[in-house]
Amino acid sequence: MILLSPLAAIGRSTMAMLSAIGRVTLFMVSAIRHLLTPPWYPREFFTQLVHIGWLSLPVVGLTALFTGGALALQIYAGGSRFNAEAVVPSIVAIGMARELGPVLGGLMVAGRVSAAIAAETGTMKVTEQIDALVTLSTHPMKYLTAPRLAAATLCLPILVAVGDSIGIFGGYLVGTTRLGFNPANYLANTVDFLEFWDIASGLIKGAVFGFIVALMGCYHGMNSGRGAQGVGRATTNAVVSASIMILAANYLLTELFFTA
């Protein structure tokens, strides 16, 4: 019996993980179905556009600015070992557009938006506001989940595009003021080496990450436990699960887009 205890623990953990994956998958399918079928709530959708998109611009912009500057310094320091300092503009642009822009933008929005969605919907569940929506013949998935999924999926690519631009500008500032690059040559190298697919792949990643952020926030909020402790746990779980899923999805999408 003692020897079987570790195996039983592994079995319970595996079953719990598969059960959680199944619940999230069913929730996702139901959310997409409600998103694609009427009725829709455009007022709630535009409200979420402001909360998710516009109000996330400062944190995404500042993150991208300092990341672009730090990336330029690191690439210059590494490239100087091989007399390859000239690659700084192109690597900064490609790195921001392909990876750092989408991933850091997704993680920043996950920390801000997933937590807010989970806390809001979890509080609504605890205070029985979701039950009140059902009483008023309003489906909670249509009124709460669908607008947030649509808004996050639409906003994240825009935030990623803005973050890419600001990050490249941060690298430009550091390169021209600290590393001695000629401004015209820096911009020319950035434009010459940056391809359309570099930008498009990052925007596609942004849309996927936005869907993940809203999905995790809504799922954990809708399944929140009772009381303040349950809402706090749901908020934490939403941010952690969204961040992990963003990193995993980033690897899978990179494998899909850039592996020959």
Segment-wise mean pLDDT, segments of 10 residues, the chain, 260 residues: 71 83 90 88 92 92 94 88 82 92 94 91 87 84 92 94 94 90 89 89 94 94 84 91 94 88
Q: Model's pTM, two decimal places? A: 0.90
Eight-class DSSP state of 223: T
- Token output for 133: 């929506």
State the amino acid at position 11 in one-letter form.
G
What SS3 string covers 20-58? Answer: HHHHHHHHHHHHHHHHHCCCCCHHHHHHHHHHHHHHHHH
Mark out the alpha helices in 37-145 (DSSP H runs).
42-48, 57-79, 88-95, 101-109, 115-126, 129-135, 140
Eight-class DSSP state of 224: P
* Dihedral sign from CA coordinates of 10, 15, 18, 20: negative
Give the residue carrying structure tokens 């997933």.
114
Asked if 92 contacts 196 with a C-beta cutoff of 8 angstroms, the reply is no
Q: Where are the domains of the chain?
A: 4-258
Output the pLDDT for position 102: 94
Give the distance from CA 103 to its chain's centroid.
7
CB atoms within 10 A of CB 7: 9
Cis ω for the linkage preceding 147 (within 30 of 0):
no
Output the pLDDT for position 149: 94
Output the pLDDT for position 4: 65
Asked if 238 contacts 114 with a C-beta cutoff of 8 angstroms, the reply is yes
Give the residue carrying structure tokens 């969204």.
242
Output the pLDDT for position 3: 62
Q: Angle between the 146-177 and 88-95 helix axes, to the nearest 10 degrees? A: 170
- CA distances, 224 to each of 84, 87, 119, 198 (Å): 53, 49, 9, 39
